[in-house]
């Protein structure tokens, strides 16, 4: 058996893994795991990843969870170009710095805005209260400011002059709210220019393909969710 990647393109780390593998011509079998149908919670999938999260990797009897671990494994195993995870110590440290920071900041805030705006109307039958949207937007703006000022500064990319794993993961996190009509790039010319550079580095056509599912709002309509997943998310977001 060859390399298998378990993915759902609604997931930002899954898209990052998919784009990275495709742009580096890494051979793999795409195994779709539908998050909204709870396929990540099945007994069958738990044999691949008992943590019940995606992305997940399987290669013969070897399995691996967590997007950062998977990206680094692929970069090392397939000896991808150095700019993705630079050998030079300080450039690598910049990549590591973002990868260490993003979980509870960029990813969390962008995902919260998407989920609240998408899920609250499903749960309550009403739009998200204006004060809640303002609060979520302000929280996202804080981390976007930090990204621009701390991580991007005046450089083309996070680690310097070439795209890295950090840029790819950051892009997939930042575009997440676009599906619910919130544009994080609006009024941020530096961020918008960086987005174009990242998409140009990996290929516009590949990005459009990877983002296709995300950019179709019908993929997040109430009928796409199983009752069990809706109930699980209600406990998380309806407080």
pLDDT in tens, the chain (239 residues): 699 999 999 999 999 999 999 999 999 999 999 998 999 999 999 999 999 999 999 999 999 999 999 999 999 999 999 999 999 999 999 999 999 999 999 999 999 998 888 888 887 788 888 999 999 999 999 999 999 999 999 999 999 999 999 999 999 999 999 988 899 999 999 999 999 999 999 999 999 999 998 888 777 777 788 888 878 777 776 66
The single-letter DSSP state of residue 35 is: G
Torsion of CA 226, 58, 8, 207, to 10 degrees: 180
The enclosing H or E element of 236 equals: helix 227-237
Q: Which position has the token pair 């990275």?
A: 20
Reported residue count of the chain is: 239
The two three-digit tokens of residue 68, written as one number: 């950062």
Cα angle: 29, vertex 5, 98; to 5 degrees: 140
Q: Tell me: domain 84-236, CATH 1.20.1050.10, correct? A: yes
CB 197, CB 163: distance < 8 Å: yes
How far apart are alpha carbons 69 and 57 in whole angstroms?
Answer: 10
CATH tag for 3-82 (out of 1.20.20.10, 3.40.30.10, 3.40.50.2000, 3.40.50.300):
3.40.30.10
The single-letter DSSP state of residue 152 is: I
pTM as predicted: 0.94
User: Which part of the chain is CATH 3.40.30.10?
Assistant: 3-82
What DSSP string describes 103-122? GGTHHHHHHHHHHHHHHHHH
Residues 6+ apart with CB under 8 A from 148: 188, 190, 191
Which is nearest to 43 in space by CA: 33, 56, 52, 30? 52
SS3 80: coil
What strands lie across the sheet with 3-7, from one edge to the other?
29-32, 3-7, 56-59, 62-65
Q: Output the pLDDT for position 213.
A: 85
SS3 22: helix
User: Which part of the chain is CATH 1.20.1050.10?
Assistant: 84-236
Q: β-strands 62-65, 29-32: how paired?
A: unpaired
């Amino acid at each position: 058996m060859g390399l298998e990647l378990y993915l759902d393109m609604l997931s930002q780390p899954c898209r990052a893994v998919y784009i990275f593998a495709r742009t580096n011509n890494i051979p793999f079998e795409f195994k779709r795991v539908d998050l909204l149908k709870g396929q990540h919670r099945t007994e069958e999938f738990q044999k691949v990843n008992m943590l019940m999260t995606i992305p997940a990797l399987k290669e013969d009897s070897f399995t691996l969870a967590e997007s950062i671990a998977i990206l680094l494994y692929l970069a090392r195993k397939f000896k991808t170009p150095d700019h993705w995870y630079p050998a030079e110590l300080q450039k690598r440290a910049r990549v590591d710095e973002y990868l260490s920071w993003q979980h509870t900041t960029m990813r969390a805030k962008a995902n919260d805005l998407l989920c609240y705006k998408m899920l609250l109307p499903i749960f309550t039958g009403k739009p998200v209260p204006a004060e809640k949207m303002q609060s979520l937007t302000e929280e996202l703006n804080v981390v976007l400011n930090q990204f621009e000022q701390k991580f991007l500064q005046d450089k083309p990319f996070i680690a310097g002059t070439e795209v890295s794993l950090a840029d790819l993961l950051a892009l997939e996190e930042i575009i997440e709210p676009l599906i619910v009509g919130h544009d994080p790039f609006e009024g941020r010319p530096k961020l918008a220019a960086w987005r174009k550079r990242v998409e140009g580095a990996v290929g516009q056509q590949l990005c459009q393909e990877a983002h296709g599912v995300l950019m179709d709002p019908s993929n997040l309509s109430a009928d796409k969710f199983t009752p069990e997943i809706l109930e699980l998310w209600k406990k998380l977001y309806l407080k």
